[in-house]
Chains A and B, each alone.
Chain A
């Protein structure tokens, strides 16, 4: 009996043990019946994976069951002298049948966690051209069109203006203000403020 006890306890220390945890918000009632179902599901998974019908419910050993509802389990191989099945095989088996195991307990990947076995998430749908490039292209085309339009209309306006000013300049040449027979531009109107003749020799005049 001591030997059996040791055999029961020691598997959990081995590397091949996998931890399982129920993490449910409403509190999952875990009892011996649920444990039995769990063992049955793991045995079922092992059978489907290795397709040999030798795994029995008694081959699945649970240990360290806590109130949290977390425990370790191993699968032994009764054909090979009570050795444990490598953890990688068990992992693979559980991963393949994860859906069935979850459904048996009415849980899902998040609430029934196998700590070394990660679930495959479905990728989001991505369109072939990223959406942002499309919007970018639209805005770019609008901006470039606006720039081209403004530049072209600016050039056209300048051409029209330069032809108009040429006409005006021709007309302007005719009208030149004339004062006293002398065109205004030659008269330096500002210099007329001081008559240089008088400013130079004011010393000659006697003060009054």
Chain B
């Protein structure tokens, strides 16, 4: 053998040595990374993070809007095309790189450190406003211990001659939410002062979150046992209670009858894709953080499938409960409208007592409309349509569903305090579980960075993060705070996440290389991923995310000005956002999306400078 071939062999050996050293999953110099006590803790942490309030208050609304049982078809298609592959990708990246989001993406390619920073920024925005929901849940939970629930009846007005005017016009539950809880201002501009009760509840919520993340995985691992399992216990109790309520079956039939014509509506598919995407919490860096605390040989493929299936199953489960509650409310409320309408008409037209019944109501209404058109027209706004379908058609989502509709239903159950306590504890557990993931996404990169970790202990870093978030979060406890909350809720995470996950998928598939990724997975799990995963990662998911992205951008452009819904003591009014609010929205979106190109640029420049330094020195 000649020397050149010997040299070639030696150089090749050196090259493989280099590769092994760079890609070693067990870097020698690393202080032992904290680990989950067992894989169950990891699965519970992921479930606790993914199963959040969106499963309870967004999915039933989507189901109702887009065709009932038929919505499950686009939902499952999107789960298979988008949800499972992207979840598996993030868990695998985290487990392989054993770093938080910034470190993990920097390891894949130094130009991608901006992706990690963008994830941290988005998580930071999310944790700022998300804990306010926990504060509201605490508020309602504490008020559930009163004997007649405070939202069961209207309070009296100042001279005790009747009920509070605002409450009379709306309903006790709406009054309690808008006035007693939020004390909402009529518009964004009228900021109002800080609500000290809400500020106290927010501080308590942050203290509880701090308690759970204080020791890192040690404390988080124990807490997720509770936050993952308690909501299911409560949902089961509510399912049994809900199904035995009078009228629940109406709601369930209404929900599950598929309206298949909705499948032709592109909005149904887009909503399904969006819901899967945001429900799993992709792109925040939380999943990467959780997976980085895994044993390298953990079977993340199985866990990814399990977590995504459980998340979807919980959504469906929660919507069954919600629809039985809807049915109960509607069946109870719609017939009670008849006496009210009869009384109204009888008083207005001085008819004989008992002449109007539920049967002849429509006929008499027609007669009155013809005979006294002017007087009847005046009454018309108060004569709401009292049919069951009309009641069931009122679709509510978000805080309205969780805090108004549910509390309305709870106050009509027997032993309402118990059900109220259970329900709001469940909301609290769901919210805290998601907060644990969010804070892990922020803290893991911070504690991984050697610079910060050597100067400050973990407890102090966690404390600082909680304190900063709490202070900024106090803005959401002002009178106009709910409008700022809506701004953050709608704009802080939506576009940025789509972009982040798109860049992540493309980076792993094309920059890192899908062959290399396959080999890493083979080392970790023991078998290579099947062709299904590879096709989804390489083609299907990126295409889907790009189309979602295009849809959102065109939607924003087409609607022109952004508007928000304000509550002015009786009804919802729609206003345009003022200039400074639009500026804040722009800032929110820009702050996270710009990190990606900026990170690449900074790395490029620093590398050029280093190369120039080396070339000038050498």
Contacts and interface: CB of A to CB of B under 8 A. Distances in A.
A68 B211 contact: no
Given A68-B346, A68-B352, A154 B204 contact: no
B145 A135 contact: yes
Interface in A72-124: 118-124
Given A118-B161, A199-B7, A132 B145 contact: yes
A22 B347 CA distance: 10
Interface in B118-155: 138-139, 141-143, 145-146, 148, 155
Interface stretch (B9-17, B261-269, B564-572, B600-608): B9-17
A3 interface: no
A136 B346 contact: no
Nearest to B201: A136
B58 to A, nearest CB: 28
Interface string A4-31: 0000000000000000011110011000
A194 B10 contact: yes
Interface of B is mostly: helix
Q: Which of A24, A136, A190, A205 has the most CB of B within 10 A?
A: A136
Given A120-B161, A136-B200, A147 B214 contact: yes
A169 to B, nearest CB: 15
A151 B10 contact: no
A135 to B, nearest CB: 4
Contacts of B2: 207-208
Contacts of B211: 143, 146-147, 150
Nearest to B339: A25
A193 interface: yes
A59 to B, nearest CB: 26
B546 interface: no
A133 B155 CA distance: 19
A184 interface: no
Interface string B194-209: 0000001100100110
Nearest to B10: A194
A144 interface: yes
Nearest to B155: A124
Given A136-B142, A150-B214, A199-B7, A123 B160 contact: yes
A133 B457 CA distance: 34
A202 interface: yes
A150 B347 contact: no
Contacts of A27: 353-354
A193 B219 contact: no
A144 B214 CA distance: 12
A194 B14 CA distance: 8
A202 B142 contact: no
Interface string B210-227: 110011000100000000
Contacts of A119: 161
B146 A154 contact: no
A193 B13 contact: yes
A19 to B, nearest CB: 11
Contacts of B398: none
Contact of B350 (A68, A150, A190): A68
B245 to A, nearest CB: 26
Given A118-B161, A207-B2, A147 B146 contact: no
A69 interface: yes
A67 interface: yes
A56 interface: no
A66 interface: yes
B156 interface: yes
A23 B343 CA distance: 8
Interface string B1-26: 01110010010011001000000000
B594 interface: no
Interface in B214-242: 214-215, 219
Contact of A23 (B160, B207, B215, B353): B353
A120 B7 contact: no
A107 to B, nearest CB: 13
Given A21-B347, A27-B353, A66-B350, A136 B7 contact: no
Contacts of B346: 23, 68
Contacts of B204: 136, 139-140, 143
Contact of B207 (A118, A147, A194): A147
Interface in A163-208: 190, 193-194, 198-199, 202, 205, 207-208
Contacts of B156: 121, 123-124
A151 B459 contact: yes
B550 interface: no
B142 A118 contact: no
Nearest to B207: A143
B296 to A, nearest CB: 23
Contact of B4 (A132, A146, A207): A207
A176 to B, nearest CB: 18
A198 to B, nearest CB: 7
A208 B457 CA distance: 64
Contact of B161 (A121, A132, A143, A208): A121
A23 B347 contact: yes
A205 B219 CA distance: 66
A124 B215 CA distance: 46
B351 interface: yes
A133 to B, nearest CB: 8
Contacts of A23: 343, 346-347, 353
A202 B59 CA distance: 71
Contacts of B143: 131-132
B162 interface: yes
Contacts of B138: 136, 139
A135 B146 CA distance: 10
B23 to A, nearest CB: 16
A151 B473 CA distance: 25
A158 B139 CA distance: 37
Contacts of A121: 156, 160-163
B370 to A, nearest CB: 20
Interface of B: 2-4, 7, 10, 13-14, 17, 138-139, 141-143, 145-146, 148, 155-156, 160-163, 200-201, 204, 207-208, 210-211, 214-215, 219, 343, 346-347, 350-354, 457, 459
7 contacts: A68-B350, A70-B350, A124-B155, A131-B143, A139-B142, A193-B13, A202-B4
Interface of A: 21-24, 27-28, 66-70, 118-124, 131-133, 135-136, 139-140, 143-144, 146-147, 150-151, 154, 158, 190, 193-194, 198-199, 202, 205, 207-208
User: What 8 pairs across the A-B complex have the smallest Cβ distances?
Assistant: A132-B142, A67-B352, A118-B161, A68-B350, A66-B350, A135-B142, A143-B207, A202-B3
Given A67-B352, A69-B353, A131-B146, 17 more contacts: A22-B353, A66-B350, A67-B350, A119-B161, A121-B156, A121-B163, A122-B160, A124-B155, A132-B139, A133-B142, A136-B142, A136-B201, A140-B207, A150-B211, A154-B214, A193-B10, A202-B3
